[in-house]
Amino acid sequence: MGMTITEKILAKHVDADKVEPGELINARVDIALANDITAPISIARFKESGAKTVFDKDRVILVPDHFVPNKDIKSAMQAKMLREFAHEHDLTWFFDGHEMGVEHALLPEQGLVLPGDIVIGADSHTCTYGGLGAFATGMGSTDLAAAMITGETWLKVPETMKFVFKGELLPWVEAKDLILYIIGDIGVDGALYRAMEFEGPVIDKLDMAGRLTMANMAIEAGGKNGIFTPDAATEAYVKDIAKRDYEFFKSDDDAVYAEVREYDVANIEPQVAFPHLPENTRGISEAGEVVIDQVVIGSCTNGRIEDLRCAASILKGNKTAKGVRLIIIPATPLIYRTAMNEGLFDIFLDCGATISPPTCGPCLGGHMGILAKGERAVATTNRNFVGRMGHPESEVYLASPAVAAASAIAGKIEGPDKI
């Protein structure tokens, strides 16, 4: 029997001809990543171990992005801890100040995570990098500390589920809608500790931003990782920015899957995940009259330039509804500058939006857009748990940039075709 792309990457990193689901392995890692919430714990464990140096200063990456620009004294101290560790160990890649961006948008943009890699991060949305054809997964800060020291991590080889998309996309249906549809179909534990492999004619046409968006939310279905087969689009994306060599893998024709699900995208309209789970999805035609107070367009899920262009195409010439706060957060400095140079900021400001510097900010209820009791937000983020964006009696509705922009104008959850 053949192997899936996930199994092939894992086998390569343990120097084995073959690995099988359920097998425990100790694999080399290409990148070990942490942020300003998780790295302080990893650093503390690192120091407690007595380790004197990281395994490779080019492959341990720290990005303070959750509570920056620092919102309070505690967050400032956490960022300082990363800064001092990065200096002490002469880390090549520490993104601070004007270089800082949302980690899972920043690293692909910088050519630091690449096809065929094993990437581990002390952040659950590390699975984003599967959009490039890497095996990428989140883990705890203690496990991350061990990898920072040894350059290795242990894990169980996951079974793989395959999701095949066919047909022609309806207007305004985006990658965010496809992954929300999957999560609504299988539930938040429907892919528990499984690799989620995406393929089919529709997937082949997705740009890299769309692939990264879908891989990003694999964890919301319980997935160990999400992954796409790298192709010509992947090559075009990485070839001029890659900081090191990379390798394309693909699943064998006779690879074994735990489950295969096929979808005709002609049956998928823009989706909205209602509180308080990403699986509570409805088509936009079933959303009803949900009046909102805030819209957030950004995050590691949908803060890329493609997302901002999409939102701008709807917001242009319109105004946000009275009483609606529209917050737009470009995910990296490059995205920020590109959007500004393309005139998108003029569109956003003219329609009544507030533009934030790159940050995770409101996504995790950190800052830059916290909800009060009883308030509702439409967000292009990835989670809508109780209290995720503020007060436990607030509500978050997950949607694509197109639906989010349309909702900001309408003052309620609305489809872009209605604007």
267 domain residue, yes or no: no
Give the pLDDT score at 301. 97
At 308-319, the pLDDT tens digits run: 999 999 999 999
At 219-257, the pLDDT tens digits run: 999 999 999 999 999 999 999 999 999 999 999 999 999
* Confidence band of 419 (pLDDT split at 50, 70, 90): confident
330 domain residue, yes or no: yes
Give the pLDDT score at 374. 97
Give the pLDDT score at 398. 98
- 245 with 293, same domain: the answer is no
- 200 with 287, same domain: the answer is no
Give the pLDDT score at 91. 98
* Residues linked to residue 156 through DSSP beta bridges, in sequence order: 24
241 domain residue, yes or no: yes
The pTM for the full model equals 0.94
- 191 with 109, same domain: the answer is yes
- 242 with 175, same domain: the answer is yes
Question: What residue numbers bound the domain in which 101 lies?
Answer: 5-262
Sign of the CA dihedral running 380, 384, 390, 395: positive
- Give mean pLDDT, residues 306-334: 97
Q: Report the number of distinct structural domains present in the chain.
A: 2
Sign of the CA dihedral running 226, 107, 355, 391: positive
At 106-128, the pLDDT tens digits run: 999 999 999 999 999 999 999 99
- 223 with 358, same domain: the answer is no
Give the pLDDT score at 1. 81
Give the whole-number percent of the chain exceeding pLDDT 70: 100
- Give mean pLDDT, residues 22-47: 96
- Give mean pLDDT, residues 283-304: 96
Last residue of a domain, one of 262, 297, 317: 262
332 domain residue, yes or no: yes
- 97 with 151, same domain: the answer is yes
- 285 with 150, same domain: the answer is no
- Residue 217 and residue 383: Cα distance in Å, rounded? 9
- Residue 337 and residue 371: Cα distance in Å, rounded? 28
- 283 with 176, same domain: the answer is no
Q: What is the CATH number of the domain that holds 208?
A: 3.30.499.10
Last residue of a domain, one of 217, 234, 262: 262
45 domain residue, yes or no: yes
Residue 4 structure tokens:
């899936």
Does residue 159 carry a pLDDT above 90?
yes
Dump the DSSP string for 112-166: -S-TT-EEEESSGGGGGGGGGT-EEEE--HHHHHHHHHHSEEEEEPPEEEEEEEE
Give the pLDDT score at 342. 98
- 351 with 225, same domain: the answer is no
Last residue of a domain, one of 237, 262, 287: 262
- 249 with 367, same domain: the answer is no
- 242 with 336, same domain: the answer is no
Answer whether 144's CB lies under 8 Å from 38's CB: yes
- Give mean pLDDT, residues 265-269: 95
- 104 with 196, same domain: the answer is yes
* Confidence band of 132 (pLDDT split at 50, 70, 90): very high
Residues 6+ apart with CB under 8 A from 74: none
